[in-house]
Structure 1
Amino acid sequence: MTRLTDTFAQLKAEKRTAFVPFIMAGDPDLATSERLLHALPEAGADVIEVGFPFTDPMADGPIIAEAGQRALAGGQTLKKTLEMVKRFRAAGHQTPIVLMGYANPVLQHGDSFAQDAVDAGVDGLILVDLPPEESGELDVQAKEAGLDMIRLATPTTRDERIDRVIEHASGFLYYVAVAGVTGGRSAGADELGEAITRLREKTSLPIAAGFGIKDAPSAHAAAQHADAVVVGSAIVKALELEGVDAAVALARELAAATHAPGGQQ
């Protein structure tokens, strides 16, 4: 059992959908992003996605891509991100942490990455540009270390492809609710419900819906179908425009909408 599986089991017993905020490590600087990270559990985060910046973020919309560029300009690295998570754990926080980013920094880190991540307190990993066919070695290292490898499914993923995607997946399955980059249009509730119903026929893993969920109404709508609701661009933008307090206030509002009665769990 991992922190992720424990958290989702508890939420299922409580009939609650998980709220999963995303932040970019090092945006606008390390101290500010770390302050936000430490505030999110109290604001209602059940799981936290922590992005690590990369120079070519092909799946990111302008808001998160610009956050990554600010982080890189400030000197943020994958190693510094792991150290940030380690301090989060040292402060006593038990909220699961999932790193989200791209394969190149992980590959540059070397074969010790999975164990180093777990030692720092990371629970799961999402690499948006690493297909299952190319992640065999990392899959083995992650399994040995106890790091959940979280896979992505999209509206265009065919049934036979989903089987391959979930073959070595653990933690949860991330459903990209819109065809496009982060921060785009919101998915329709009926469309999302149909897609998640199809995925549930394939896997018993919890299913998180992300991309295009940007406010309390869309978070609540997604929570009617998904086991977890991921919000990134809206929180990153609130931090950019108004600072940590505004980002925390938005997270609290989104958590309340996600946790409101009537969700899938």
Structure 2
Amino acid sequence: MSRIEKRFARLGEEGRKAFVAYIMAGDPDPARSAALMVGLPEAGVDVIELGMPFTDPMADGPTIQLAGQRALEAGQTLAGTLSMVRDFRRHDDETPIVLMGYYNPIYARGVERFLSEAAEAGIDGLIVVDLPPEEDEELCLPARAHGIDFIRLATPTTDDERLPAVLANTSGFVYYVSITGITGAATAQSAEIGPEVERIRAASGLPVVVGFGIRTPEAAAEFAAIGDGCVVGSAIVAENASGKPVEEVLAFVRSLAEGTHRA
């Protein structure tokens, strides 16, 4: 079993939902983001989503766009992000890590080189938001061959005709985007999400985590209760950008994790 499978299996045995936390690698500088990442598991994070900074993040809202810009200005590279994961793995070989971002930096590095390095570093999954299922041979299938899960996004506009293509080569879990639009731009409505999560879970046989528009422990509990867990990104990135000490950012993360685990 992969780390992702093991984590969801353990949570299922414990009757708990998964708390997935997103941070941007290198934001606002490599040292601070590494310190934040190291503290996430103790703060209750079950799966870490690590953003790969990119110059043209078309699916992200201002909060994560600015985080990526800060990281790039601080010198963060894809090689540096993989090195960050290697350092993390020296003391934590259990917490799943999913890289999230765009295809261009991977393509520029070379798919085979990137996947070999990612697997060696300890990456468990990829979310690449600008590669549709029609391009699975480009990265998804090679990633699976390296033992790396390829996690797909499903959205409110993913109808029954489109869903089979979206799920065909998906593994690990499905990320349900609870709103249409860019990250951090709106607040989701839980009443509208339940039937969609059930539809996707039934079609995929995979855990479904809900993300976008979740900013508080109360919202985390509400949405985690509907799915198999929830994802918080922009709220954590904004807290980190506030200049507060890392310990205070981790305290905020812990409050979100506790909300999720109450679901």
Q: Gaps (5+ residues) in structure 2?
A: none
Matched position secondary structure for 2:153:
strand
Matched position secondary structure for 1:43:
coil
Answer with 168-177 or 239-248: which moved more.
239-248
Matched position secondary structure for 1:137:
coil
1:95 counterpart residue number: 95
| Amino acid of the structure 1 residue aligned with 2:162 | R
Matched position secondary structure for 2:40:
helix
Contact 2:173 2:208 in 1 (8 A): yes
1:120 correspondence with 2:121: yes
1:75 correspondence with 2:82: no
How far apart, in 2, do the equivalents of 1:250 and 1:168 lie? 35
1:243 correspondence with 2:248: no
1:171 correspondence with 2:175: no
1:188 counterpart residue number: 189
Contact 1:55 1:69 in 2 (8 A): yes
| Amino acid of the structure 1 residue aligned with 2:75 | G
2:229 counterpart residue number: 228
Contact 1:150 1:169 in 2 (8 A): yes
Matched position secondary structure for 2:23:
strand
| Amino acid of the structure 2 residue aligned with 1:16 | R
2:261 to 255, 259, 262: 259
1:115 CA drift (Å): 2.0
Contact 1:178 1:187 in 2 (8 A): yes
Q: Gaps (5+ residues) in structure 1?
A: none
1:41 correspondence with 2:41: yes
Answer with 91-100 or 28-37: which moved more.
91-100
How far apart, in 2, do the equivalents of 1:2 and 1:181 lie? 30
How far apart, in 2, do the equivalents of 1:137 and 1:240 lie? 34
How far apart, in 1, do the equivalents of 2:73 and 2:113 lie? 26
Runs of 4+, deviation exceeding 3 Å: none
How far apart, in 2, do the equivalents of 1:38 and 1:224 lie? 27
Contact 1:115 1:142 in 2 (8 A): no
How far apart, in 1, do the equivalents of 2:214 and 2:130 lie? 21
How far apart, in 1, do the equivalents of 2:166 and 2:245 lie? 37
| Amino acid of the structure 2 residue aligned with 1:250 | F
1:140 CA drift (Å): 2.6
1:38 CA drift (Å): 0.1
How far apart, in 2, do the equivalents of 1:136 and 1:160 lie? 21
Contact 2:209 2:224 in 1 (8 A): no
Contact 1:189 1:221 in 2 (8 A): yes
1:206 counterpart residue number: 207
Structure 1 residues 67 and 103: alpha-carbon distance in aligned structure 2, compared to 1, 3 A threshold: same
Contact 1:151 1:173 in 2 (8 A): yes
| Amino acid of the structure 1 residue aligned with 2:69 | Q
1:25 correspondence with 2:21: no
How far apart, in 1, do the equivalents of 2:92 and 2:7 lie? 16
Answer with 237-246 or 154-163: which moved more.
237-246
Question: Which digits, 9 at most, give the CA deviation of each residue in 1:176-226, with x for residues without a partner?
Answer: 111011112221111111210121221111101111111111101001111
Answer with 236-245 or 225-234: which moved more.
236-245
Matched position secondary structure for 1:208:
strand
How far apart, in 1, do the equivalents of 2:161 and 2:137 lie? 19
Matched position secondary structure for 1:98:
strand
How far apart, in 1, do the equivalents of 2:155 and 2:137 lie? 21
How far apart, in 2, do the equivalents of 1:82 and 1:58 lie? 23
Matched position secondary structure for 2:99:
strand
Matched position secondary structure for 2:56:
coil
| Amino acid of the structure 2 residue aligned with 1:255 | A
1:92 CA drift (Å): 3.1
What are the residue-to-residue correspondences of 1:106-185 with 2, within 5 Å?
Answer: 106-110=106-110, 111-185=112-186
TM-score (norm: length of structure 2): 0.97
